[in-house]
A and B are shown apart, each in its own frame.
Chain A
């Protein structure tokens, strides 16, 4: 078996996903004594969603769904099942541990947004102690403690696409926060090799030798996979560890039954169904369960599960260690509808994406607006909550997208610190144009949106 074949098989077995996320292994919230009731609350059991299993399940699910009688009856009768957590004015019932009304519902300034996910300061000045390296997945990374003992996950770009993944991760972080979702505090940082030291107990998981102590040589190998700035320093995303106890991913269907506050099957939650519209705007096509995280937090005097979206390295033009493929957003990993159409036409009818133009900006990757289809956008894998979306869910998401003014978008894009000014301008323009297409398609030409108030 050739290495190329093996690599291909490995990639295919992983269903072509972007790298597995660096799990934010947060410790239990250190703030003690916020009430006996909080301390006594039962902690749901942590779980780990298998990436491969989820990929297989979501790939097969469209087939079973196509044969599902109730779904067919609902479709024929024009009676879709609406989201279960909306009120009479069709808005998400609050409070929610999933989502908070921000853009589209309240006034959010650029300052609000930049302060939202966290301090946004990155690691404190001083040496970084490397505590653990990321060996799974395709992208390089490790975990550090800064001089004040705060823990961060550090993630890099690949040399072929400097600034691509890190830029996308940070921009998407702010946009998702402003859209109302819980996200980690991700910022761009720059450091040098000499800023790193290996913690005495630092280990990494070697595929053949198991968990072994980390060496300087190993660290150099990890850094060799990372893009460097012209001055030899490294650019990375520092992702601050979330406070609380990680409980693993949430799934886009079913419930976490050991969480007494999780009473609505996730596919019937408005915040998750409507996320489709926001994902289509930000082009987050790797929105599987693996890029989510439930945290057991102690906050406001009570312990509860807060639901996060994490790992945005598959957003905008980035696909982890690569740029998005030209066809991303137009078809699933295995898209039976596209296959059937191709078979029927012998492939002679061009796909919509085949006319899309690549901006040829390495730090942007592939995202565009001309061929963007706000109705037909699809993530890499089918998503159970998105499959249940109704017009009302989509319009709810469109209302949020419509609320993003250029000022807000530009402020988020600026956080990527692109060295090429064309990159910033291009990305802002594409996001504005995609926003306008979404607004026009789902809210109509008369919708009162930020789109019409932008200069």
Chain B
């Protein structure tokens, strides 16, 4: 039989009481509390003190802490390093300096920030130049430790814009087509995309981001050139080794399309720090047509296969209680229709799932096919003033024809994210997503919603 809590207390008390009578703490005789009180003003007399210093811990407490101190040495070291860093940040006035430098951006027009190149791209940065003397021009360059890079130049005025983009992605993953592809058949490929486009955008009232609800309509047209290259990931076999038949015709072959499309979106979401109520819906149709010789970026090496891609997205959420607990449901469907002909349809043009594109527990690009459908149910709730938890479940699949989609064929993924928030915005998250193939840890600084 276990001793009762009272018994334990009594035993501990008996042991501790004698030890806890620290010498000096109560050694002096007890005078009347207010004796010698000079009045309401602060005293100038020497303060009462025990004969010897009263330490924070009594000897028996200090002794009991020794093993714990030894065990926690690595944490102590980590804590000391963190404290030293924080002291440096504060004493060097670092944050105000960074803030002041960022304030200069508006005048200089140069901005440096983390890059948004996607999953598995390593640590990246982006430099953007938007000259003060020519605000219509925006140029940016992004690069990452995994060798990804992207350059963009955009010239815009009112509702019209012209842009050019070059995107090098050296370590994209390909596992084969369809839901039946195996995780073990992983391979890597590189792609180089170059595009130029003329865009038109309509937002009622020239909507600033704070306008509600937000309605946006866009149309664009321009040439696009894609070339598939051997994968540059040293830890993954190249697509040329794992899928020689798929890649043989496509490798190092420039394929050019004339692309035009439209997109309309309506967004009624609102709330902070995460959006709490409302919905968004968008529809996009994009035609990858035969290239126009007079408008081509390059003369394609092989005939292209025209296709049309439709993307429909919708998401809705509701919240309850003051610190919002939010339930969200999101759906995304991609439907591609291949045109007639025998031209090339490249791997980078396949619809993808895995990573941030849906089914986050799977590797990015884990499932690829012409069409895809994915749904996500999210429940967000607060853990405290500056922390909230995002729990979510996803189900989705890729198909050669969307009508082949079956509930029984869907792949599932689950995840949680610990999100750091200020009172008005989300700052970053660290999370884990898992599926029947394993788990993936992910994190982000900014750019969450």
Contact = CB atoms under 8 A, between A and B. Distances in A.
Contact of A70 (B52, B57, B322, B425): B57
A147 interface: no
A254 interface: yes
Contacts of B77: none
A350 B321 CA distance: 7
B44 A5 contact: no
Majority secondary structure, A binding face: loop
Contacts of B113: 1-2
Report, as a range, how many residues of chain A touch the other chain.
Answer: 35 or more
B389 interface: yes
A84 B54 contact: yes
B34 A101 contact: yes
Given A106-B40, A207-B99, A93 B90 contact: no
Contacts of B447: 5
Nearest to B325: A347
Given A6-B99, A207-B100, A268 B12 contact: no
Central interface residue in A81, A89, A255, by most chain B CB within 10 Å:
A81
B12 A208 contact: no
Nearest to A261: B47
B387 A334 contact: yes
Contact of A264 (B53, B65, B386): B53
A9 interface: yes
Interface string A23-62: 0000000000000000000000000001111011100100
Contacts of A343: 383, 389
A342 B382 contact: yes
A50 B80 CA distance: 13
A333 B49 CA distance: 35
Interface string B66-94: 00100010000001001100110111010
Contacts of A339: 383-384, 387
Contacts, number: 252
A53 B90 contact: yes
Contact of A334 (B25, B60, B322, B386): B386
A79 interface: yes
Report, as a range, how many residues of chain B touch the other chain.
Answer: 35 or more
A12 B386 contact: yes
A5 B444 CA distance: 12
Interface stretch (B14-22, B152-160, B300-308, B330-338): B14-22
Interface in A96-132: 96-98, 100-102, 105-106, 108, 112, 116
B20 A136 contact: no
A102 B25 CA distance: 25
B425 A8 contact: yes
A182 B83 CA distance: 30
12 contacts: A12-B386, A53-B86, A64-B72, A69-B68, A70-B57, A77-B8, A91-B34, A96-B47, A101-B33, A264-B50, A335-B384, A354-B322
Given A1-B445, A97-B42, 5 more contacts: A13-B86, A207-B99, A255-B53, A346-B381, A351-B323
Interface of B: 5, 8-13, 16-17, 20, 22, 25-26, 28, 30-38, 40-50, 52-58, 60-61, 64-65, 68, 72, 79, 82-83, 86-87, 89-91, 93, 95-102, 113-114, 321-323, 325, 379, 381-387, 389, 420, 422-425, 427, 445-447
